[in-house]
Amino acid sequence: MVFQKPPDGGWGWVIVAVSFFAQFLCYGSPLAVGVLYLEWLDAFGEGKGKTAWVGSLANGIGLLASPVCSICVSSFGARPVAIFSGFMVAGGLMMSSFAPNIYFLYVSYGIVVGLGCGLLYTATVTITCQYFDKHRGLALGLISTGSSVGLFIYAALQRELIELYGLDGCLLIVGALSLNILACGSLMRPLESSSSPPPEKTCVDKVPDQYFVYHEKEKTVEENISILEKGYIDEKCVNNVPDCKQDSILNKNVLSSISINEKDTYKKKVVEQTNFCKQLAKRKWQLYLTYWKETMVLFKNRVFSALFVAILLFDIGGFPPSLLMEDVARSANISEDDYYMPLISIIGIMTTVGKLVLGILADFKWVNTLYLYVTTLLMTGVALFAIPFAKSYLTLAMLSGILGFLTGNWSIFPYVTTKTVGIEKLTHAYGILMFFAGLGNSLGPPIVGWFYDWTQEYNTAFYFSGFCVLLGGFLLLLAALPCWNACTRQSSKLPPNTYSYKVASNA
């Protein structure tokens, strides 16, 4: 398949629009799962840590399975994967309305919906990158706000649906809304050139035609020889038993001389096929070795190693508020009459603002994106430490807005990764970092919930969360200090494709 040059417009803006709405419909419920979390606590009577697994799986399993999602999009295309993900998300939400226990929700909501979200995210990002080159950053920024807007709207929508139709009715209606992803996916027209000639086959592609597929003519010759040989021997054995053995030997010699060329050809092909399989296996093994060598080289980069620890600790500590903030308000005995807006909705709208503002700041040349990212981590840790002291709706709303804005640092995370490892290794490094981000998303809320089950209060849980985020921020800051660059220059040269961070005044 030969792709056209990215048009940077035209139908590409339709792709941006449908990708925005697809992420809105897909991520709205999983990101606003904090509203459902309260209902599941009351419905099943399980512990907070065990119940929190549902939302954490829904948000983390897509990142954990990002390599599989990428393979699916590469193999089948963005449009089929987006349509299939719509069935998964809608089906998982509808199945969750019939959940008899919390374990059923682990599969229906956590795994099925989570995988559907991961597939859709990969499909929307891939096809957007195909349609845009010069305006790729703007296009990706626009579609990424779909999930944040979905969090803002779905938090209030699910709350209202629960009051009107109950938890089961809410999940059924939200699942039905998710079927609109099918319409969005059908508009994701692949960017390909039908007029271009097909690419010439490589040597590996030509091998099956040469060695694996045998010509029917040669097959027919060998089969006919076998039939003639068997029939002739049987006839002679019936009519003249003493001469059977001698005629059989004579017949074999005659037939062998006839088929010697075909048998030599067959043996030659078997040998060539065996050699090809050995070479293919050796090549695959070399690719695996190269992958692990490149991975080890990445971890030799001091900043990358600190970045992987920071993103893991950030998601362990920074993700739980978006899931548990509503329960924090209920645990603080805040009256529902004081609620002007769900806290999760505040987090969602401020996340959108944070993505746009931080993304714009990252484009300024005088701003060091690594130090900007470290600043967001440190401020997030301080905000998490302040949650136990918030005893009113107003203070919780302010902290929710601050945390939502700082969570928008996801928009500058690709910038930091690119500057750390170089554009050549971005895909490899970003996949590794997203895996650990998904691991943090999956572990964070259950850990905070278990702290509550043990202590019957959220104070210790959020002290732990704040400590994790602060630790990750300080480690990343320590690894990025300019003094390390002087020490490295004296000992040895920096490896290729690494980025030497400088202070903002020297950038």
Q: How many domains does the chain have?
A: 2
Segment 239-249 mean pLDDT: 48
**Do 6 and 126 lie in a common domain?**
yes
pLDDT in tens, 34-93: 889 889 988 888 888 889 889 888 888 888 887 788 778 878 888 999 999 999 999 999
Match 């290794």 to its residue by tokens.
425
Domain presence at residue 453:
yes
Looking at the predicted structure, is the pLDDT value of residue 172 above 70?
A: yes
Predicted local confidence at residue 245, as pLDDT: 46
**Residue of higher predicted confidence among 368 and 500:** 368
Residue type, 496: P
Of 141, 133, 190, residue with least CA distance to 8? 133
Match 């900007």 to its residue by tokens.
372
**Do 181 and 307 lie in a common domain?**
no
At which of 134, 165, 193 does a domain end? Answer: 193
Q: What are phi and psi of 80, to 5 degrees?
A: -60, -40
What DSSP assignment string belongs to 62-91? Answer: HHHTHHHHHHHHHHH-HHHHHHHHHHHHHH
**Residue of higher predicted confidence among 40 and 362:** 40
**Do 7 and 145 lie in a common domain?**
yes
Of 180, 41, 110, 15, residue with least CA distance to 438? 110
Q: What is the mean pLDDT of the chain?
A: 78
Domain presence at residue 310:
yes
Looking at the predicted structure, is the pLDDT value of residue 334 above 50?
A: yes
Segment 330-336 mean pLDDT: 77
Predicted local confidence at residue 256, as pLDDT: 53
Looking at the predicted structure, is the pLDDT value of residue 461 above 60?
A: yes
**Do 331 and 186 lie in a common domain?**
no
What DSSP assignment string belongs to 311-335? Answer: HHHHHHHHSHHHHHHHHHHHHTT--
Predicted local confidence at residue 426, as pLDDT: 66
Q: Which helix (H) or strand (E) holds 110?
A: none
**Residue of higher predicted confidence among 312 and 206:** 312
User: How far from the centroid of its chain's Cα atoms is residue 349's Cα?
Assistant: 24
Looking at the predicted structure, is the pLDDT value of residue 160 above 80?
A: yes
Domain presence at residue 267:
no
Give dist(CA 504, CA 373) in Å, integer.
Answer: 13
**Do 329 and 453 lie in a common domain?**
yes
Looking at the predicted structure, is the pLDDT value of residue 180 above 70?
A: yes
Give dist(CA 366, CA 370) in Å, integer.
Answer: 12
Q: Which two tokens stand for residue 83?
A: 């349509």
- 3 Cβ contact list (under 8 Å, min separation 6): 130, 191, 192, 193
Domain containing residue 366? 301-485
Looking at the predicted structure, is the pLDDT value of residue 294 above 60?
A: yes
Give dist(CA 44, CA 324) in Å, integer.
Answer: 17
**Residue of higher predicted confidence among 110 and 191:** 110
Give dist(CA 175, CA 182) in Å, integer.
Answer: 12
Q: Which helix (H) or strand (E) holds 190?
A: none
Predicted local confidence at residue 502, as pLDDT: 40
Q: Which two tokens stand for residue 75?
A: 């193999």
**Do 464 and 318 lie in a common domain?**
yes
Domain presence at residue 205:
no
Looking at the predicted structure, is the pLDDT value of residue 154 above 60?
A: yes
- Give, in order, the Cα–Cα distances in Å from 305 to each of 295, 308, 380, 452, 480: 11, 5, 21, 31, 11
Looking at the predicted structure, is the pLDDT value of residue 225 above 50?
A: no
CATH value at residue 78: 1.20.1250.20
pLDDT in tens, 389-403: 988 888 999 999 999
pLDDT bracket for residue 458 (50, 70, 90): confident
Segment 127-148 mean pLDDT: 79
Domain presence at residue 10:
yes
Predicted local confidence at residue 133, as pLDDT: 75
Predicted local confidence at residue 270, as pLDDT: 67
Taking the model in full, what pTM does it have? 0.67
Segment 163-168 mean pLDDT: 92
**Do 311 and 427 lie in a common domain?**
yes
**Do 16 and 162 lie in a common domain?**
yes
**Residue of higher predicted confidence among 180 and 202:** 180
Give dist(CA 417, CA 169) in Å, integer.
Answer: 43
Contact between residue 38 and residue 326 where contact means Cβ atoms under 8 Å apart:
yes
Looking at the predicted structure, is the pLDDT value of residue 141 above 90?
A: no
Segment 198-206 mean pLDDT: 46
Looking at the predicted structure, is the pLDDT value of residue 388 above 50?
A: yes
- 271 Cβ contact list (under 8 Å, min separation 6): none
At which of 143, 170, 193 does a domain end? Answer: 193
3-state helix, strand, coil in the chain (%, to 5): 80, 0, 20
What is the Cβ-side half-sphere exposure of residue 426, based on CA atoms within 13 angstroms?
Answer: 10
**Residue of higher predicted confidence among 215 and 256:** 256
Domain presence at residue 353:
yes
Predicted local confidence at residue 435, as pLDDT: 82
Domain presence at residue 350:
yes
Give dist(CA 486, CA 169) in Å, integer.
Answer: 63
Predicted local confidence at residue 328, as pLDDT: 85
Looking at the predicted structure, is the pLDDT value of residue 194 above 60?
A: no
pLDDT cut 70: percent of the chain above it: 74
Q: Which two tokens stand for residue 7?
A: 């048009």
pLDDT cut 90: percent of the chain above it: 26
**Residue of higher predicted confidence among 197 and 361:** 361
- Give, in order, the Cα–Cα distances in Å from 31 to each of 28, 237, 320, 465: 6, 82, 11, 19
pLDDT bracket for residue 423 (50, 70, 90): low
Domain presence at residue 209:
no
At which of 140, 172, 193 does a domain end? Answer: 193
**Residue of higher predicted confidence among 257 and 289:** 289
Segment 275-297 mean pLDDT: 71
User: How far from the centroid of its chain's Cα atoms is residue 324's Cα?
Assistant: 24
Looking at the predicted structure, is the pLDDT value of residue 313 above 50?
A: yes
Predicted local confidence at residue 358, as pLDDT: 85
